[in-house]
Amino acid sequence: MKAKESPLETAGESRAAPDNGAAEYGTDAIKVLEGLEAVRKRPNMYIGDVGERGLHHLVYEVVDNSVDEAMAGRCDEIDVAIHGDNSITVLDNGSGIPVGPHPTVKGMDTLDVVMTKLHAGGKFESNAYKVSGGLHGVGVTCVNALSEWLKVEVYRDGKVWSQRYERGHPAGKVSAVGETQRRGTRVTFKPDPTIFEVKEYSFEALSGRLRELAFLNAGLKITVEDERSGKKHEFLFKDGINEFVRYLNKNRQPLFDRPISLHGEVETERGTATVDIALQWNDAYDEKVFAFANNIHNHEGGTHLIGFKTALTRTINAHGQKNNLFKDLKDELPGGDDMREGLAAVIALRLPGASFEGQTKTKLSNTEAKSMVETMLNERLGSYLEENPNVAKRICAKVAEAARARIAARKARETVRRKGALDGASLPGKLADCQSRDPKESEIFIVEGDSAGGSAKQGRDRRVQAILPLRGKILNVEKARFDKMLSSAEIATMITALGTGIGPEEFDVEKIRYHKIVIMTDADVDGSHIRTLLLTFFFRQMPQVVEKGYLYIAQPPLYRVAKGKKERYLKDEAAMDEWLLSAGTEKAALHSDGGAIAGEDLKALAQDALAYRALLERADRRRDKRILDAAIQLGDLDLQLLKDHDAVKEQAERIPARAQKLYPELEVRHVRVERDEEHGCHQLLFETQVAGAPRETRLDFDYLQGAEWTELAALHGALMEIGPGPYQLRVDGAEEEVGDVFAAVEALKRMASAGQTIQRYKGLGEMNPDQLWETTMDPERRTMLQVRVDDTVEADEVFSVLMGDAVDLRREFIEKHALDAQNLDI
């Protein structure tokens, strides 16, 4: 908007400021954001962003404090739990945050100071922590500021000290709430949904980071559990980063038995810095090098990684030339990429006063780190190669083979390019390109087969959407060398269409022609296989495409519902339930002795019933849902009751009886009441039979105060507000008796589907061009999944096992996860 033009000023008159709607800029315009208000106003400054990365960073900040305790020798166990409501608990057995009046901040407890004051911490001096990942004293304070609520419990000096905060503000004073023999700190928090764009935690992302921390801190036991899915990982590595390297190579064939382990110490102005490096080559072709500083994974590398790469290339080339091991390469010495082909390596630097770029610490910036790593690696690796000539020969042979393959690949590329297959100037004939040449707005759909490709070409927006149909299944690049991969016509076509080139010498992600690469395949076995082969290609050959967020998977609808001329498309089972309940409750009413509910209230009741059943199914991965359902329905079991031995014994009889009434097939083999000394109460243990195997369900203090039990109880309470059944369900004059709310939900869904034509799609070819555009390709209405890698190490392992040559490992994987499979197309 332009400002108004002002009339020319006349002599002796002052010219008025243009009226652009802005208030006068005076002293009252200068605002001072105090304490946590600054964090809530500008969270990106402290945790990077308010998306997925920032959400997970909250957990890392709390865990890093516990790891710092471990590095100081005061902690050897850390437990992390993701609860059903996406709240997080981090528990350690460290010394516990200090409690008591703070010596300099009058009127405040030290715990309160740590949790609410920025730049308050024990890491500014080197007395309590010699080396730590936390440098700014803002970590746990930021977590508190950005949480809807946070509860901290400190186990120290024989007492349990507790404090709760709401959006960073204390909800009460620090107080002793019990006695204990434990020591350590428990922090439970729920990120504030009004701040974060992403609400769901990724178990894989958290597990990957915690596994790294366990590798980097030998002897530290870290457990992570996801109460939403039942997944649980326990990490304990006695041999530190040497085990990390062995883990990276566990699905590969190493060139030698033991990883090369190198250690060095350097005195700095701030104290002693240590450099630990473990490395081992394997028979594969990809490179896996991880760089850490003070336990922080530096995803973007930094000065220590630069020093490592420089020294590695120089040292191996020097040894190879000295011992005439590269003679067949003539005048071309191996390069850095050749040195790192098939290399698994971990660099762990512990540096007092480490400096990172940004609060999220993705890149180390200390200039001395480069020379520190470079000098140590030159000396130690050079000596190792001289002292272990057989290992040195294998390494140099691997490097020479990589150099020869690189030269051969270069020649193969030139041959293929001469045929026009990789020439970006002549795009492949089967590509229906878009009109736009701006990669930021351009999309390419990689489609399975000519039939779906034809529909996609007719239905697309030609200006910004390109279509590339693939014929059949592409080559599995996990099992193929580079030159064989280039000989595949389908892969060469895809490389040409994307425009990035291929291989370490030529690939440039900045040259990519589309910022959205969409894999669009059928929802059957063949479609899943093609999608997996494409994901393997991008993960192995174009990982930067995934890292940049350019790769997507189309989500065509699973259902089409039609009645007369009206039709709608529904994404999945959940969307189908939502639609059926909306339609079913329009003219329905549920009558009980306490009255009747209808419309939106009835729909909300039905949604609570579905949520309750879904939560029970999730809980069943760890505890028998039938026991939980019975205990919740009885409604008597709570934390207070656990203190009464007679009342607990009564529950031990009532819960199994109720469960067997609800589930006649249930076999309860044994029930025990045990003393819980840690919390001064009792706990219940039920042993049931599931699929012929015994299963134990524990109802104790920790579970009853956890998020899952709390949410189950709340949902059941909402369901019971209508009063006990049976009920009368009335729809358009018709009436049906239902025994409970769950039966009412099924009846509503059945009534809503009457007279409707419900079609379940399996292939894109079942849709005409208009339907494909409307449901899957229209940016205004479509849903797509963005492909990302939360845990690089675990992703590498899965691709190696499922797509590699090791048949035994694949069989073992299938047997292990067979019961988790759903919706099998057989």
List, by residue number, the catalytic residues: 448, 522, 524, 526
Contact 592, 725 (CB under 8 A): yes
**Three-class SS state of 796:** helix
Q: Which residues, in sequence order, are CB contacts of 143 under 8 Å at separation 6+?
A: 58, 61, 62, 150, 187, 189
Phi, psi of 566 (to 5 degrees): -90, 135
Contact 696, 216 (CB under 8 A): no
User: Interior CA angle at 277 toward 271 and 279, to 5°?
Assistant: 180
- Residue 271 Ramachandran class (φ > 0 left, ψ -120 to 50 alpha, else beta): left
Strands (E), 656-701: 668-676, 681-690, 693-699
- Sign for the CA dihedral angle at 134, 137, 143, 149 comes to positive
Helix (H) or strand (E) holding 547: helix 543-547
User: Bridge-partner residues for 166, per DSSP?
Assistant: 149, 169
Cα distance between residue 211 and residue 244, in whole Å: 9
Q: Which residues, in sequence order, are CB contacts of 538 under 8 Å at separation 6+?
A: 517, 545, 546, 551, 787
Q: Which of 222, 247, 273, 256 is nearest to 345 (CA)?
A: 247
Using only the alpha carbons of the chain, give its radius of gyration.
31
Q: Which of 485, 547, 534 is nearest to 285 (CA)?
A: 485
Q: Residue 611 has which token pair?
A: 């949520």
Q: Which ranges in 239-302 belong to alpha helices (H)? A: 241-248
Q: How remote is the C-alpha of 799 from its chain's centroid?
A: 17
**Three-class SS state of 315:** helix
- Residue 499 Ramachandran class (φ > 0 left, ψ -120 to 50 alpha, else beta): left
Q: Which of 605, 611, 607 is nearest to 590 (CA)?
A: 605
Phi, psi of 437 (to 5 degrees): -115, 10
Written as one letter, the residue type at 281 is: W
Cα distance between residue 818 and residue 641, in whole Å: 40
User: Interior CA angle at 498 toward 493 and 499, to 5°?
Assistant: 100
Percentages of the chain per state (helix, strand, coil), in multiples of 5 = 40, 20, 35
Cα distance between residue 597 and residue 604, in whole Å: 10
Contact 215, 237 (CB under 8 A): yes
- Residue 756 has what DSSP assignment? -
Do the bridges between strand 175-179 and strand 681-690 make them parallel or antiparallel, or are there none, so unpaired?
A: unpaired
Q: Residue 790 has which token pair?
A: 């939360």
Cα distance between residue 90 and residue 152, in whole Å: 10
User: Interior CA angle at 217 toward 211 and 222, to 5°?
Assistant: 45
Cα distance between residue 304 and residue 316, in whole Å: 18
Q: Tell me the DSSP string of 15-80.
A: PPPP--SPPP-SGGG-----THHHHHH-THHHHS-SSHHHHHHHHHHHHHHHHHHHHTTS--EEEE
C-alpha distances (whole Å) from 10 to each of 3, 5, 7, 19, 748 are: 20, 15, 9, 19, 79
